[in-house]
Amino acid sequence: MNPEQYDFIIIGTGPAGMSAAMTAAKCRKRVLVVEKEDSLGGVCVNTGTFPSKTLREAVLHLTGHLKKQIFGEEFCSLGSSEISMDRLKTRLQYVRLKEHAIIDSQLERNNISLIRGTATFIDNNTVALHQVGGDRPLLVRGEIILIATGSRPRNPPEIPFDGELIVDSRSILDISTVPSSMIILGGGVIGSEYATIFAALGVRVILLDKGTRLLKFIDQEITDQLQQHFPNGYVECIHNVGDFEIATEGNKAKIRLDDGTVYRADTLFFALGREANVKGLGLENTDVVLNKNLYITVNDLYQTSVDHIFAVGDVVGWPSLAATSIIQGRIAALNAMQRRSEGFPTIFPVGIYTIPEISYVGMTEEEVKERDFKYVVGRCYYEELPRGQISGESEGMLKMIVHKDTREILGVHIFGGGATEIIHIALIALFHNAKIDLFIENIFNYPTYSEALKIAALSAMNQIDYEECR
């Protein structure tokens, strides 16, 4: 039997794969998507972005975190001891199911075929699909084949993961009870987000970071703010952690550091990195090249070493964000169809959903110093922001880095309420090489979080004018 032919075969239904599928379908291409998991949406919908952000919002609402800031302890909704994992999981599952229904509807409306099963390359053009419940593989060929298989936690085999005492980012949400104490190993985005979420829930967290500071890729002043404002003061952060041994001891998880220090907790969450989902794809049967870290190598158009095979999302590595994966999928599909030849945007925002949240766009102060730019820093502290006082989110700041000579905005960094929303205004400003005058001379709704941009711009202008008047 001859393999069935498609214009596009897309392996994976996460943000990158779905974006590519929708783009190709809108161009009237015959599209097939393949998904090996029981649920559509990839890590983003099922174990990553959606669940962790849903958990964050649920914890904020159930604990009355913001009410406590405004009215005091007696007005908070529920004590942490009254919040069960079952209650939290109910909300998580509701959001997952809603998103699954949306994806199903998108596939149906756009006449996109779906096959559930694993995909293995036979050669550069042919893919064998091992369907769930199928007796034998179905062979398909694609004019364009796009790999969007995502990533998974990088779990060393010597660590005794059991899904309860010792967990990873897939199993953390499946624990049966809210622990009273937790060790989190890893000071990156996932570790930092979950540390603040569980701390807001009343869990005592020990956050072990292998680096010199948390989230080392963001502006240090912002990470300092995060550490100063951990929810309830319940996160103990320990840096420069070296080698370690992890084990269970009775009903506790235990970690021994190379300096002999031992920590015990109800749960240990291992959050040290992720790896590309390339195992089982049969890439050895193709001419697709992997880099030294076993991510798929692509060019600026997301084309692999095989002209008609593209790869997008976590499977190609940095920046490994849901937002960036969506644009990668669209770019790859357009380039594959030769509708447009463009690369990834040079300016894009990053959002980190700690409590409070963090977002930034542009250069950090450390980067500006390295380039030896003349600059000033304008700041707006949330405790001085009317909206911050009104909403109870008075912890935080907006930092604006400005070129002293040109008044051009070089970077904006936010720690506080609404950070991931406000940052899009800054994104557009940086995209158009705007000067601080843009914010100073225009009217902002009052009171709003966005007003912080105007206040920070005024702060920067005052410093520039002071220098000019000396």
Helix, strand or coil, per DSSP, at residue 32: strand
Cβ atoms of 126 and 141 closer than 8 Å: yes
Q: Are residues 323 and 368 in the same domain?
A: no
382 lies in the same domain as 399: yes
Q: Look at residue 26 in the predicted model and tell me its pLDDT.
A: 96
Residue recorded with tokens 């392996």: 11
Per-residue pLDDT, 391: 84
Domain for residue 341, yes or no? no
pLDDT at 38: 87
Residue 71: inside a domain, yes or no?
A: yes
- CA nearest 416: which of 357, 339, 354, 348? 357
**Residue-level pLDDT at 87:** 86
Q: What pLDDT score was predicted for residue 394?
A: 86
Sorted by sequence, the CB contacts under 8 Å of residue 31 that are 6+ apart come out as 6, 7, 8, 10, 21, 24, 25, 110, 111, 112, 113
CA 179 to each of CA 85, 104, 176, 205: distance values in angstroms, whole numbers, following the listed order: 10, 36, 9, 10
- Across 88-100, b (16+ Cβ under 10 Å) vs e yields bbebbeebbeebb
Alpha-carbon Rg for the chain, nearest whole angstrom, is 24
CATH number at residue 377: 3.30.390.30
Domain extent for 107: 4-152+275-336
323 in the same domain as 376? no
Whether residues 96 and 213 fall in one domain: no
CATH number of the domain at 120, please.
3.50.50.60
Q: What is the distance between the alpha carbons of residues 400 and 217, in angstroms, rounded to a whole number?
A: 17
Q: C-alpha angle 199/73/417, rounded to 5°?
A: 55
User: In this structure, are residues 129 and 122 in contact, taking their beta carbons and an 8 Å threshold?
Assistant: no
Nearest-angstrom CA–CA distance, 424 and 417? 14
- Helix, strand, or coil here: 5? strand
Q: What is the residue-wise DSSP string for 369-430?
A: HHTT--EEEEEEEGGG-HHHHHHS----EEEEEEETTT-BEEEEEEESTTHHHHHHHHHHHH
Helix extents (H) in 113-258: 189-200, 220-228
Q: How many folded domains does the chain comprise?
A: 3
The CB density around residue 307, as the number of other CB atoms within 10 Å, is: 11
Per-residue pLDDT of the chain (470 residues; tens, 9 = 90+): 689 999 999 999 999 999 999 999 999 999 999 999 988 999 999 999 999 999 999 998 888 766 566 556 555 555 555 788 888 889 999 999 999 999 999 999 999 999 999 999 999 999 999 998 778 899 999 999 999 999 999 999 999 999 999 999 999 999 999 999 999 999 999 999 999 999 999 999 999 999 999 999 999 999 999 999 999 999 999 999 999 999 999 999 999 999 999 999 999 999 999 999 999 999 999 999 999 999 999 999 999 999 999 999 999 999 999 999 999 999 999 999 988 777 899 999 999 999 999 999 999 999 999 999 999 999 999 999 999 888 888 899 999 999 999 999 999 999 999 999 999 999 999 999 999 999 999 999 999 999 999 999 999 999 997 666 55
The verdict on 290 and 245 lying in the same domain is no
66-85: burial string, b at 16+ Cβ within 10 Å, e else:
ebbbeeeeeebeeebeebeb
b/e map 402-423, b = 16+ CB within 10 Å: bbeeebbbbbbbbbbbbbbebb
The alpha carbon of 247 is separated from its chain's Cα centroid by a whole number of angstroms, namely: 29
Report how far residue 371's alpha carbon sits from residue 361's, in angstroms, rounded to the nearest whole number: 17
Strands 126-131, 138-147: pairing is: antiparallel
Residues 140 and 18 occupy one common structural domain: yes
Query: What pLDDT does residue 15 have?
Result: 96
297 and 329 fall within a common domain: yes
Residue 346 lies in a domain: no
Give yes or no: residues 82 and 138 share one domain.
Answer: yes
The tokens describing 122, both together, are 């036979």
pLDDT of amino acid 70 = 56
Q: CA dist 165 to 175, 181, 195, 246, 250, Å? A: 8, 11, 16, 11, 10
